[in-house]
Amino acid sequence: MSGTAGLALATRGLRKNYGSRHALDGLNLSVPMGVVYGFLGPNGAGKTTTMRVLTGLVHSDGGTVEVLGKPFKRGDRHRLFDVGALVESPTFYPYLSARANLRELAASGAHVPSKRIEELLDLVGLCDRANDKVQGYSMGMKQRLGIAAALLSDPKLLLLDEPANGLDPAGIVAMRDTLRALASQGKTVFISSHLLAEVQVMADVVGIVAAGKLVREGPLKELLSMQGVVKVRVRPNLVDSAIKSLQPLAAADRLIESDREEGWLAVHVSADRAEDVNQQLAGAGIFASGLESGTDLEMLFLELTGGQAVGGEGTFVGLGAPANGSATTGKETAA
Amino acid sequence: MRLFVSGLRKLVRRPASWVTLGMLVGLLALILIAVGGTANERVNATREAAAKSLITFPEAYDRILQFITGLGGLFAVIYGAAIAGSEWGWGTLKSAVARGESRVKYMLISYVSVAVMIGVGLLITFAVGVLAAIFAAHLANVSTSGLGDSATLGGLPERLLKGWFAVVEEGALGFTIATLARSQLAGIGVGIAFYFGESFATIVLPDIVKYLPFSVANAALATTSTSTGGGGIFAANTDVLSPDQALLLVGVWLIGALVVAAVFSDRAEITG
Ligand SMILES: Nc1ncnc2c1ncn2[C@@H]1O[C@H](COP(=O)(O)OP(=O)(O)OP(=O)(O)O)[C@@H](O)[C@H]1O
Ligand SMILES: [Mg+2]
């Protein structure tokens, strides 16, 4: 495979069909070593299918996979000894306790020292309940146990399919810290999630898939710098003149009026140009009643995956996402 | 070895193991005691003799063992199906495969653990059956002097081994059916249907049915005088295979079932 040196995970032209449905349609992923990689995509985009192929649960219909620098083909199951995975939903023997479940799981695959189980129960905060049967666990507790199970053999590559499902806020924060710590130890974390705000603070690199294909991949910072936005609110009757006055700052298709919230304009310029936007408006005698700036993964996501209704003609297009997207960081508000 | 020990541990801790055994043991003890309690009230002499043979030693040893392969076969099918089906239904096979475990090894070793549990269950059931038969003999005023019959006792280990082999084959059938169905419930349902289906078919197709898995399991244990044939309790007495032929076919069915389960597990897409 070309250009896959130094990658923890690489897929080239990966295809997978379920019957006549193309779940993966030539997927090319490049996941560098030692990063947290956010694997994003709308429902049905093929994220879980990718995880299944990567863990040998289903067999691809074409393309190649490299795991930790070596080809991963049918029958290469030993490669998975260095991989930990939580695919779709955690699975356990309901009549066994958390501790017993981890112990029995550890009997398969790579060898696991028994003290590892206690460490992990502690890590995911299940020590107190470790002897209770899993059938009595809440959803979030099962999810925690699933994360512990994925970490069982201290994997070099961790594949997590929506691991935050059902976790409480403290659990999400703890998971984020754990995953960041793993990446700082040189391990690679490949995580799919719909919690874009979470991915935005956690991931180094993101890949966005739609309909089984990669639509964008790269370091999060780079992607977001291209996706800077300054949002500004003016009186509704002044929107037209505001747009006119801001035109020197942003290309026509980068200056968007919100169709949801009256008076909000999104100016797609680097997020640190909020002052310029404000100044430009003031120069035209228009005073903003609100100003926010930031970079927004959610916006990038919606744009790339078709969540945004792109009109494409004329100067202005409707904004599918709310102008003050919840995933905005570096928010500053001016009166 | 790790997998085998783990497989056994999982089965020992599983309530279904002990519920299944408890039901079989309870049923056997109940029947034997009922026979003992009523043996002398029968009007028909041949029926009385038949009933008493269940509680008269040394014949009773063999009768109890045949009862276990007959009805126990049904329990083994259900048990085998429950174990295999839950691996798919609960997704625990998925977790092992994602850890790099061999699917074939995992499934086959799971069944080896089941076979060991069947062996333990057979011994327990047999022991309880003998005790119940002794008790029943006392109830019916039947002498238990044959208990220590050395010829029968000497052959007992081999008979038990054959019985175990036969029940293991029946369990493998349930195991494979549930693997194909990827479901506990479907596996158990279809397994039971096969068991009774084979019994009923004995009436119309005895020449074919005698080669089928439940019939050969019973025939493998048959002694010339007492053959049950067919799927155990419903069986009509047909010209059954010789015990040796039947034993060979038990092996064929056992291996066949496990090969099918292994190949299917290896090929299957695990998308649950
Ligand atoms: N077992 C299956 N049988 C048939 N089609 C399937 C199966 N699993 C997934 N698909 C199809 O494959 C496509 C990709 O599904 P996948 O589960 O990979 O999506 P996803 O990105 O994980 O979505 P979500 O965000 O909802 O989890 C979908 O069109 C889905 O309908
Ligand atoms: Mg999914």
pLDDT at A259: 65
The per-residue pLDDT for range A3-37, each reduced to its tens digit, is 788 899 999 999 999 999 999 999 999 999 999 99
pLDDT at B43: 67
Q: Domain containing A108: what range?
A: 7-221
Which of A267-281, A295-309, B2-16, B211-225 is predicted with the least confidence, judged by mean pLDDT? A295-309
The one-letter code for the residue type at A97 is S
pTM, whole model, 2 decimals?
Answer: 0.85
The C-alpha atoms of residue B110 and residue B79 are separated, in whole angstroms, by 12
**Is the residue at A252 inside a domain?**
yes
Residue B28 near residue B64 (C-beta atoms within 8 A): yes
The per-residue pLDDT for range A314-332, each reduced to its tens digit, is 222 333 333 333 333 333 3
User: What is the CA A127 to chain-centroid distance, rounded?
Assistant: 29
Q: Are residues A162 and A13 in the same domain?
A: yes
The C-alpha atoms of residue B112 and residue B258 are separated, in whole angstroms, by 10
**Is the residue at A266 inside a domain?**
yes
| Alpha helices per DSSP H over chain B | 2-13, 15-38, 45-53, 59-89, 92-98, 103-139, 150-181, 184-204, 206-209, 213-219, 243-267
Residue A6 near residue A35 (C-beta atoms within 8 A): no
**Is the residue at A279 inside a domain?**
yes
Pocket lining: A193 vs ligand 1, CB cutoff 6 Å: no
**Is the residue at A309 inside a domain?**
no
Q: Are residues A236 and A213 in the same domain?
A: no
The C-alpha atoms of residue A272 and residue A267 are separated, in whole angstroms, by 12
Q: Are residues A200 and A253 in the same domain?
A: no
Q: Does A81 touch chain B (CB under 8 A)?
A: yes
Residue B29 near residue B120 (C-beta atoms within 8 A): no
- Contact criterion met (CB < 8 Å) for B3 and A108: yes
The C-alpha atoms of residue B9 and residue B78 are separated, in whole angstroms, by 19
* Encoded tokens for B187: 């596996």
Strand partners, B223: B226
What average pLDDT score do residues A83-110 get?
96
Q: Does B161 touch chain A (CB under 8 A)?
A: no
Of B9, B92, B271, the CB nearest to A58: B271
Segment B34-37 long-range contacts (CB within 8 Å, at least 24 positions apart) = B35/B136, B35/B140, B36/B133, B36/B135, B36/B136, B36/B137, B36/B138, B36/B139, B36/B140, B36/B142, B37/B136, B37/B139, B37/B140
Handedness of CA B65, B209, B23, B52 (dihedral sign): negative
The one-letter code for the residue type at B22 is G
Task: Select the more confidently predicted residue: A173 or A256.
Answer: A173
The per-residue pLDDT for range B8-60, each reduced to its tens digit, is 999 999 999 999 999 999 999 999 999 888 877 766 777 777 778 888 888 88
- We report the CATH number of the domain holding residue A133 as 3.40.50.300
Per the structure, the count of domains in chain A is 2
- Domain regions of chain B by residue span: 2-266
- φ, ψ dihedrals at A204, nearest 5°: -95, -40
The C-alpha atoms of residue A303 and residue A86 are separated, in whole angstroms, by 29
**Could you give the strand order of the β-sheet that contains A228-233, starting from the edge strand earlier in sequence?**
A255-257, A264-267, A228-233, A290-295
Q: A313 pLDDT band (50/70/90 cuts)?
A: very low
Pocket lining: A47 vs ligand 1, CB cutoff 6 Å: yes
Return the percentage of chain A with pLDDT > 90, whole number.
Answer: 64
Q: Is A312 left (phi over 0), alpha (psi -120 to 50) or beta?
A: left
Size (chain B), residues: 272
Domain boundary among A200, A221, A242: A221
- Contact criterion met (CB < 8 Å) for A96 and B3: no
- We report the CATH number of the domain holding residue A279 as 3.30.70
Q: Are residues A136 and A264 in the same domain?
A: no
Q: Are residues A124 and A89 in the same domain?
A: yes
- Contact criterion met (CB < 8 Å) for B101 and A108: yes
Q: Are residues A180 and A59 in the same domain?
A: yes
pLDDT at A127: 94
pLDDT at B127: 95
What average pLDDT score do residues A80-96 get?
96
Q: Are residues A208 and A265 in the same domain?
A: no
- On the question of pLDDT at A171 being above 70, the answer is yes
Task: Using 50 as the pLDDT threshold, list the residues of chain B that sit under it.
Answer: 225-238
Pocket lining: A46 vs ligand 1, CB cutoff 6 Å: yes
Q: Does B217 touch chain A (CB under 8 A)?
A: no
Q: Which helix (H) or strand (E) holds A122?
A: helix A114-123
Contacts (Cβ under 8 Å, ≥6 apart) of A176: A198, A201, A202
**Is the residue at A300 inside a domain?**
no
What average pLDDT score do residues A123-150 get?
95
Q: Which residue has the CA at smallest separation from atom 4 of ligand 1?
A: A18
- On the question of pLDDT at A308 being above 80, the answer is no
pLDDT at A307: 58
Q: Are residues A155 and A249 in the same domain?
A: no
A286 Cα: distance to centroid of ligand 2 (angstroms): 47
The C-alpha atoms of residue B127 and residue B75 are separated, in whole angstroms, by 17
Q: Are residues A79 and A156 in the same domain?
A: yes
- On the question of pLDDT at A269 being above 60, the answer is yes
What average pLDDT score do residues A106-132 get?
94
| Nearest alpha-carbon partner for A140 in A176, A167, A163, A160 | A167
pLDDT at B272: 74
DSSP labels, A218-235? EEHHHHHHTTEEEEEE--
Q: Is A211 left (phi over 0), alpha (psi -120 to 50) or beta?
A: left
Residue B20 near residue B78 (C-beta atoms within 8 A): yes
* Encoded tokens for A129: 């309940």
Task: Select the more confidently predicted residue: A144 or A309.
Answer: A144
Pocket lining: A21 vs ligand 1, CB cutoff 6 Å: yes
- Contact criterion met (CB < 8 Å) for A77 and B102: yes
How far apart, in Å, do the first and last CA atoms of chain B sit?
27
pLDDT at B42: 64
Return the percentage of chain A with pLDDT > 70, whole number.
Answer: 89
Strand partners, A84: A158
Handedness of CA B55, B59, B60, B64 (dihedral sign): negative
**pLDDT averaged over every residue in chain A:** 86
Q: Does A299 touch chain B (CB under 8 A)?
A: no
Q: Are residues A247 and A176 in the same domain?
A: no
- On the question of pLDDT at A309 being above 50, the answer is no
Task: Select the more confidently predicted residue: A308 or B24.
Answer: B24
